[in-house]
Amino acid sequence: MKFSILVAHYNNYNYFLDCYKSIINQTYQDFEIILVDDCSNDGSFEKIQNLVKNDIRFKVFKNEENKGVGYTKRKCIELATGDICGFVDPDDAIIPSAIEKSIEKYLEKDTIVATHSNISVCDEKLNYIRDFKGTRKVKNSDSFFFNIDFSVNHFFTFKKLAYDKTSGIDKELTSAVDQDLYLKIYEQGNFAYINENLYLYRIHEKGVSQDKSKKDKLNHNWHKVLLNTLKRRKMGRIYGRNIDEINNLPKFLFEKENSFLKKLIRKFIK
């Protein structure tokens, strides 16, 4: 199986060096890297071109103008030629066996369309801080699964053929893009959980968690993703409410999904 590592990049060269090193040091070497730059204005695109110029596995592209993360991630997938795809954010990294362990899951069962793992939350220098506690195995074929608790997260990989059966990432999204991808792929088959920390998530001052305006934008986009998901699944009402009358679907679904009964049910998912 050929693996396509996808990187949507913008003004991130210094952090990207760690990402780059983690990719080229993978134990599984049948891969390509598709990097799409969203019209960086700090010279980082040219630096990346120079860094990877002698590695034929790297295919580097640049948007003609700044288009946003939804458009850029969608373009990454469209350019991919691998059987399996997986995004690595340019300011993050993956452990050396991340791709190998993901590929192993696909070889176990043909019905698997995606894998997801645990995350190591790291400081700005990628020193380990803690595990991200939200990731866990999820029930497959559940029309009420909306990933409200971030159970599915990085390192997320998916079959290209499964993605091609969907409408694709919403190119208008400026955040919540990963959630859009997860929910669309979820509707195509089974997810396999890898109970290991394959992904290193870097916390730094430019991150969403450090910026209130980005948080507000994320909530707006996530509402849009959830609304479209409900419509796709032909669920005009949920928990007794008309979906078009709910102003904040992330908050509404979070409160419903975190009731005592729901938590108890999730605890015993095997």
Domain locations in the chain as residue ranges = 3-208
Q: In terms of DSSP bridges, do strands 58-62 and 31-37 run parallel, antiparallel, or are they unpaired?
A: parallel
- Taking alpha carbons only, the member of 119, 120, 45, 115 closest to residue 85 is 115
pLDDT at residue 214 greater than cutoff 90: no
**Computed from CA positions of residues 67, 70, 73, 79, in that sequence, does the dihedral angle turn out positive or negative?**
negative
- The helix/strand count (H/E) of the chain reads as 9, 11
Give pLDDT, residue 270: 44
Q: Residue 51 is encoded by which pair of tokens? A: 């860094």
205: three-class secondary structure by DSSP: coil
For residues 9 and 92, the answer to whether their CB atoms sit within 8 Å is no
Q: What mean pLDDT do residues 218-224 have?
A: 95
Give pLDDT, residue 264: 52
Cα atoms in the 13 Å half-sphere on the side-chain side of 262: 13
DSSP letter string, 118-161: EEEEE-TT--EEEE-S------SS-TT---TT--S-SS-EEEHH
User: Distance between CA atoms of 149 and 258, rounded to whole angstroms?
Assistant: 9
User: Distance between CA atoms of 149 and 147, rounded to whole angstroms?
Assistant: 5
Q: Residue 174 is encoded by which pair of tokens? A: 């400026």
pLDDT at residue 185 greater than cutoff 50: yes
Q: What mean pLDDT do residues 163-182 have?
A: 98
Give pLDDT, residue 89: 98
Give pLDDT, residue 216: 83
Q: What mean pLDDT do residues 186-201 have?
A: 98
- Taking alpha carbons only, the member of 115, 123, 148 closest to residue 257 is 148
What's the CATH code, domain 3-208?
3.90.550.10
User: Distance between CA atoms of 111 and 6, rounded to whole angstroms?
Assistant: 23
Residue 38: count other Cβ atoms within 10 Å of its Cβ: 20
- Residues of the chain with pLDDT > 90: what percent? 88
For residues 256 and 239, the answer to whether their CB atoms sit within 8 Å is yes
Model pLDDT for residues 63-122, shown as the tens digit of each residue: 999 999 999 999 999 999 999 999 999 999 999 999 999 999 999 999 999 999 999 999
Question: To which H or E segment does residue 103 belong?
Answer: helix 98-108
Q: How confident is the model at residue 204 (pLDDT cuts 50, 70, 90)?
A: confident
Give pLDDT, residue 212: 63
pLDDT at residue 129 greater than cutoff 50: yes
